Amino acid sequence: MKTQNKIVYVLLIVFFSYTLLFSGFIYYSISNYAFTDFYKRLEIRAITTAKSQLENESEGNIIRELRQEYLEVLPDEEIKMYKLPENGEWQGVSGLEKFKSGFIEEILEDGTSMYNDSRTFFYGTTYTTVGKATYLVIISAENYFITHHVHYLRNLLFTSLAIAFVIILVVAFLFTRKYIQPINDIIEKVKEISSENLHLRLNQKSKNDDTISQLAQTFNDMLNRLETSFETQKNFISNASHELNTPLTSIIGEADVTLSKIRRPEEYIMSLQTILEEAEKLDKKTKALLMLAQTGFDGKRQKFNMLRTDQLIMDVKDTVEKIYPGSKISIDFSLLPENPYKLKINANEALLHLALSNIILNGCKYSDFSPVHVALGVSEGKVIVIVKDEGIGIPDTEMKYIYDPYFRASNTKNHEGYGIGLPLARNIVRMHRGELVVTSTENEGTTVQITLPCFFTSQEINEGKAEQIVKAYHKDRNNFLKNQSH
């Protein structure tokens, strides 16, 4: 059975059962009240009739006038009064034998008694006059509340139940369709995704923090990890064989040529220098390849800690200036939030340092050491880092290849590089559940925007829980380090 049908049946059973019980309760209460109320009406009529007919004439006239004015005549109303002998032997009184067995005895014993025979209700009581004469007053009438009002109520409830059933069925169907459809959409979309099109992503119709959005976001995050890991593994062997083979071929060729005959010492020196340069290139490429492979989302090896981004940017600036002493890096902290907890992220410091260093180094290198601007800000629970240079930019037609390992734009021939930095940086940012966006215009410059989630939620910061979390975090971390040292 489909999940949607199960939900419809469950909702239908629950709401219809509730409606049925509620209707049954109303019907029972009204019916019970109708019985009690009607016996009360019979009692009033029995007492007023006895008083009007058995007491003195003046008082009787007043009661008769009141009865005629305020008490309507009930359907098939009949009132009988029987004078009891002084010895209490009622069996000798004519006309009492037609009533239900035990009815008269109960009246004499308890003072009142009542019963109903189909639609006709009987009420009996005793009445003692001023002259000490005792009478049995018995009144009977048709209970029109039962025959008309309650029956009408019963029909009305059955009609309401039928209408409620239809309404509940329609509402349950529409309700389940509305909430199941996004899941069905996700299932259909997931069926389209395979190893050939891992770039596809699920649509997130709503950014609200609901279950469906979280499910789509979680699945997209998983696809990001799978795509990166898959591409990394797919490209690693071919790239490694190609990139490593070139310097190896050069080294072997240079060695073969050098050893082909006896040469002068200076020729050996030149040959060894060439071999050394190629070996150094080989070493750099090997390290870059290994680093790129390690960013394939191996969550077991990368450890994440609480990290403050403004401090990270300052550390990266120092590193870049050591590598390129002539670099001109300007840091813009004018958009920093007042609350420093908004700057904290959950990150692997070494990897994120490497990613930011690569991006800023590229900015310095491809702008021929013109000023590179780095800005830091916070918006809606996200830390945003923007790196902007005024360099050679990237041609529009080549933008789609910028994340391919070893790809270098056509206008970078005069700049040294391996085409590893940007895909490596994107992999690292994705590991941190962030986003890296590159916009560029040829001969005008390139802007790289990195968005990373804050360590704390807005609610934790607004409610002042961030400080407590930091204390607990450092306490746990210190305990962990102590245990590691032992």
DSSP 265-303: HHHHHHHHHHHHHHHHHHHHHHHHHHHHHHTTT-TTT--
- Beta bridge partners of residue 334, listed in sequence order: none
Q: Is the pLDDT of residue 92 over 80?
A: no
What are the CA-CA distances from residue 479 to residues 287, 308, 455, 456, 476 (Å)?
34, 21, 21, 22, 5
Beta strand 372-379 with 329-332: parallel, antiparallel or unpaired?
Answer: parallel
pLDDT band with cut points at 50, 70 and 90 for residue 299 = very low
* pLDDT the model gives residue 142: 85
- Separation of alpha carbons 119 and 123, rounded Å: 13
In the 8-state DSSP scheme, what is residue 145? Answer: I
- Separation of alpha carbons 121 and 183, rounded Å: 62
Q: Give backbone dihedrals phi and psi of 121, rounded to 5 degrees, phi first.
A: -110, 140
At what angle are helices 57-70 and 3-54 packed, to 10 degrees? 150
Tokens for 412?
């970078």
pLDDT band with cut points at 50, 70 and 90 for residue 36 = confident
More confident position, 26 or 249: 26
* Cα R_g (the chain), whole angstroms: 47
Say which range, 90-94, 354-358, 390-394, 413-417, has the weakest mean pLDDT.
90-94
Tokens for 1?
């059975």
164-197 pLDDT tens trace: 888 888 888 888 888 788 788 888 888 888 777 7
* Mean pLDDT score across all residues of the chain: 81
Tokens for 146?
């039962």
**Cα-based angle 296, 300, 302 (whole degrees, multiple of 5):** 65
List domains and CATH numbers for the chain: 3-152 (3.30.450), 211-297 (1.10.287.130), 305-455 (3.30.565.10)
* pLDDT the model gives residue 453: 92
Mean pLDDT of 126-152: 81
Mean pLDDT of 215-231: 79
Residue position matching structure tokens 């902290």: 333
pLDDT band with cut points at 50, 70 and 90 for residue 222 = confident
* pLDDT the model gives residue 325: 85
* pLDDT the model gives residue 452: 94
Beta strand 134-142 with 112-117: parallel, antiparallel or unpaired?
Answer: unpaired
Say which range, 116-125, 233-242, 243-252, 391-400, has the weakest mean pLDDT.
233-242
453-472 pLDDT tens trace: 998 887 777 777 777 777 77
More confident position, 115 or 51: 115
Q: Give backbone dihedrals phi and psi of 436, rounded to 5 degrees, phi first.
A: -120, 125
* pLDDT the model gives residue 311: 92
- The model carries a pTM of 0.48
- Separation of alpha carbons 95 and 424, rounded Å: 111
Percentage of residues in the chain with pLDDT exceeding 70? 86
- Separation of alpha carbons 452 and 353, rounded Å: 14
Which 3 state secondary structure label does DSSP give 200?
coil
Residue by residue, DSSP assigns 165-180 as: HHHHHHHHHHHHHHHH
- Separation of alpha carbons 373 and 300, rounded Å: 35
More confident position, 12 or 237: 12
- Evaluated on CA atoms 214, 220, 222, 225, the torsion sign reads negative
